Amino acid sequence: MNMEAFNDRNVADNGYFLVDIEDYPTDGWGKFKRVVKRSFKGELFVGLWVVMREMIRFDIHTVQYPQEKMPIGPRYRAIHEMKRLWESDTERCIGCGLCEKICISDCIRIDTKIDENSRKEVSEYTINLGRCIFCGYCAEVCPELAITHGGEYENASDQREHFTMYEDMLTPLDVMKAGKQLEFEGFGSITPHEDERVKKTPLAY
């Protein structure tokens, strides 16, 4: 989809113009003239013709929703997903807790422990979706691009506090093995071709 029309704020060049509206008549004769003009100008028939034309053209724009769906933008923020590393298929989350910290509705709960290799490991991670406002801060703050938003917007729950667990959000291993994990392109993700712009840190002064 071409976003140009939405991003261009310079309305003056976009074919916008002021509609020429006559002043309202104040005296009786002027009003009478306006009535006569409106009665015989045939504007009503223009309206009739327009809808008739659309009916004949039959250019239907209906999306028959459950069968057909509109594509959603990459920046859409629906239920969270937890990504895995492409190299090793292990989870990206390092348990830094930044997402828990930044969450403005306090709905992330994270607990970590030290595993047998003396590495930090996430032992518990839940998001209370009843409280989440899908602001995207967690995805933006995550240093590892681990927590992101997905595109799943058809959700229902039989309770208000619906918790989603770490395991449910994590990309399943078989999907990962098939190389089908979708990289998040929305809020907080890396700009495309960012690596070309990376410069070496100047060490010699």
47 interface partner picked from ligand SF4, another protein, none, CB below 5 to 8 A per type = another protein
One of 76, 85, 126, 136 touching ligand SF4 (CB under 6 A): 136
One of 79, 83, 84, 146 touching ligand SF4 (CB under 6 A): 146
Contact assessment for residue 146 and residue 95, using Cβ atoms and an 8 Å cutoff = no
User: By C-beta, is 175 or 188 nearer to ligand SF4?
Assistant: 188
CA 79 vs CA 91, 146, 155: distances in Å: 18, 14, 9
Give residue 49's identity as a one-letter amino acid code: W
Taking CB under 8 A as the criterion, which residues in 8-67 touch another protein? 35, 44, 47-48, 50-52, 54-55, 58-62, 64
CB of 27 to another protein, least distance (A): 17
79 interface partner picked from another protein, ligand SF4, none, CB below 5 to 8 A per type = none
Residues 6+ apart with CB under 8 A from 156: none
H helices present in the chain, as ranges? 4-7, 28-40, 43-57, 98-102, 137-141, 166-169, 173-177
Q: Count Cβ atoms below 10 Å from residue 123 Cβ, excluding itself.
A: 13
- Does 189 engage in binding with ligand SF4 (CB under 6 A)? no
User: By C-beta, is 8 or 106 nearer to ligand SF4?
Assistant: 106
Contact assessment for residue 132 and residue 57, using Cβ atoms and an 8 Å cutoff = no
Taking CB under 6 A as the criterion, which residues in 22-81 touch ligand SF4? none
Contact assessment for residue 129 and residue 114, using Cβ atoms and an 8 Å cutoff = no
Q: With CB under 8 A, what is the number of residues at the site for another protein?
A: 15
* Gap between the terminal Cα atoms of the chain: 47
For ligand SF4, the binding residues (CB under 6 A) are 93-99, 102-105, 107-108, 110, 127, 132-138, 141-142, 144, 146-147
